[in-house]
A and B are shown apart, each in its own frame.
Chain A
Amino acid sequence: MEALFRVHWPPAHRAAFLIVRDAAAAEDIAQEAFLAAIRALDRFDRRRPFGPWLHRIVVNRAIDWTRARALRREVGEPVESEAPPQRDVAWSDTIVAALAVLDADQRAAVVLRHLLEYTPGEIAELLEVPRGTVNSRLRRALDRLATELADEEGGS
């Protein structure tokens, strides 16, 4: 169990953090995903890899969390202030800022593709959306990121 946890926790935690952009929520989501996976271990087909199963839970929960926060904002309910990036975050400020302009679905697609290294076909299966939708999300996300980064670099 420990070996499984040590291998899969860092990418799951990192993926949740990149999608929700909130450290406490990311920890909760990754932890809850592990607990959910453990609760369902008896039903899990052990011939299949554990990673995609866990990542499906993490990414879907992270998208739900982000959407729920957006929904609360729309209906005028209080929103926990989005945590600003902390000093000990070892990532580029430019990427932080750029990811923020994407919506949760696009961030999830980017994270699955470029962090967790899934193919668009695999992402489509994980998110239960058509492959064309995944391609479109990735394309639009990259275009937006390119624009954002160009603006950043142009402005600096």
Chain B
Amino acid sequence: MRRRGGIERRLRDELHATRPPRADEAERRAWHVVRAAHATRSPVRRPQAARRAALAALGAALIAVLALSPAGAKVGDWIGDVVDSKPDRSSGTLGPLPAKGRLLVVAGSGPWIVQDDGSRRRLGAFRDATWSPGGLFVAAARGRQLVALEPDGDERWIRPAPAPVTVPRWSPDGFRIAYRSGGDLWVVYGNNERHWLLAGGAGATPAAWQPGRPPFGQVLAFSWRKRVRIVEVDSRRVLGTSRRGPVPRELWWTANGRRLVAVSKGEIRIHDARGRLVDRRALPSRLRAVGSAIDRHGRRLAVAARRPGGRSSEVLLYRLDRDSAPRRLLAVTGGISGLTWSIDGRVLAFGLPDANQWYMLRPRAGVRLQTVQGIRAKFAGGPRAGRSIAAPFPRLAGWCYAEPRDERPFPPCSNGAAP
């Protein structure tokens, strides 16, 4: 007994003396988030009867999905948050974001930039958009035009194209932009001085610029006739072509530029920088990938996957540096759209169109940070605001630095899952 008393005293002393690593920084970060959350707190509203019935049905469906999985226990405490999602018809503020930086959102009304304090600005009537690497500009598609915009919406330059422009992607050094026009893949200098056709018959998959290796900003991977092709763009020299395989939805390079990750509906293929297949990971049975995003280090790949019939979806996390099974982060009823990582790689955000929400979580801890509700109404601006009911759900298209950066090197702003 005396021995236990001695242990108790020692425990008490040492537990009180404990300080977690970098406790001061953690406290500063937490206070920033807590203060912002408190400032934007709104009074609790009681759900109306009809809404309550709908929420109960949604809750039952969610619980059924979650109960089927071991991850159910883990996400069980999130159910309340999702089920309680009161459709918010207001067009008020989004509230602060749980990570620093600016979000690029592509809605039916056009692209928007959302600051980390939740304020937002519509850039105009464009259909698709992507960040420049340091967030100085946004490249956007408007019919048969590629337009470089400043973040306040001013048009910097316009490049006409032979057919409708889609999926622009800015190179990590900022000097080139790849974009699709019709079925062709084009490249234009970042200052619009020169442009050229890189390849015909390119797939709809957004092209991916190789980072981290010389020749910097000149090597592009793209989908081409059920293969993945890797090309040095200025010389048009083909560096490698993969064997035929499933058409990828998305292509991602790891941060060191040594691996190219091709995500198709049913599997993930990992190629080397010459297109040779080095690894493949199947998706769990009966799941089909509908979107993916890689973190800034190129080690973690988040995949949104849907079950047949589309009644439920999951977010899976793959470790690309380990040969291991994916970790399930979340299972939800309905679909998932617009997966993207925060610029610091700590937060993963995606849309839940059926709940009219964005969902933001910290994958490492499995902790939900925030849901933002009433998303459609919040991005229904512009001249088509009154006709936006059938518009696509506002998609998280990328996350960038809070302040534009132009000194190099720095990791480029993140792109979200393909449209």
Contact = CB atoms under 8 A, between A and B. Distances in A.
Given A95-B11, A145-B7, A35 B33 contact: yes
A141 B33 CA distance: 35
Contacts of B18: 14, 17-18, 89-91, 115
Interface residues of B, number: 49
B365 interface: yes
B11 A114 contact: yes
Interface in B374-415: none
Contacts of B27: 9-10, 13
B35 interface: yes
Contacts of A34: 30, 34
A149 B22 CA distance: 27
A31 interface: yes
Contacts of A126: none
Interface string B1-41: 00110011011101111111111001101110111011001
B11 A26 contact: no
A151 to B, nearest CB: 13
A10 to B, nearest CB: 7
Interface stretch (B128-136, B198-206, B241-249, B321-329): B321-329
Interface of A, secondary structure class, is: helix
B366 interface: yes
Contacts of A43: 44
Interface in B163-193: none
Which residue of B29, B33, B37, B322 has the most chain A CB atoms within 10 A of its CB atom?
B37
Given A9-B30, A13-B23, A90-B19, A75 B70 contact: yes
Given A18-B15, A38-B41, A76-B325, A2 B20 contact: no
Contacts of B23: 10, 13-14
A101 interface: no
A39 interface: yes
A128 interface: no
Contacts of B41: 38-39, 41
Q: Contact residue range for chain A? A: 35 or more
Interface in A80-99: 80, 86, 88-92, 95
A22 B272 CA distance: 34
Contact of B8 (A14, A72, A114): A114
A125 interface: no
A143 B4 contact: yes
B214 interface: no
Contacts of A110: 11, 15
A91 B14 contact: yes
B54 interface: no
A45 B364 CA distance: 33
A134 interface: no
A78 interface: yes
Interface in A95-154: 95, 110-111, 114-115, 142-143, 145-146, 149
B8 A26 contact: no
Contact of A31 (B14, B34, B322): B34
B311 interface: no
A9 B74 CA distance: 24
A142 B325 contact: no
Nearest to B368: A32
B362 interface: yes
A41 B364 CA distance: 28
A95 B367 contact: no
A11 to B, nearest CB: 9
Contacts of A61: 77, 367
A24 B31 CA distance: 16
Nearest to B39: A1
A29 B70 CA distance: 21
B17 to A, nearest CB: 6
A23 interface: yes
Contacts of B73: 64, 67-68, 71
A72 B327 contact: yes
A78 B324 CA distance: 6
A23 B21 contact: yes
Given A13-B27, A38-B38, 19 more contacts: A10-B23, A13-B23, A22-B365, A23-B20, A23-B21, A24-B364, A25-B367, A26-B20, A28-B365, A29-B365, A29-B367, A34-B30, A38-B41, A43-B44, A64-B77, A67-B73, A78-B319, A92-B14, A145-B11
| Closest 9 pairs between A and B when the two form their complex, measured CB to CB | A28-B365, A17-B20, A86-B21, A25-B365, A78-B324, A68-B74, A115-B15, A91-B18, A28-B367
9 contacts: A2-B35, A14-B19, A27-B26, A39-B37, A78-B325, A89-B18, A91-B14, A114-B8, A143-B4
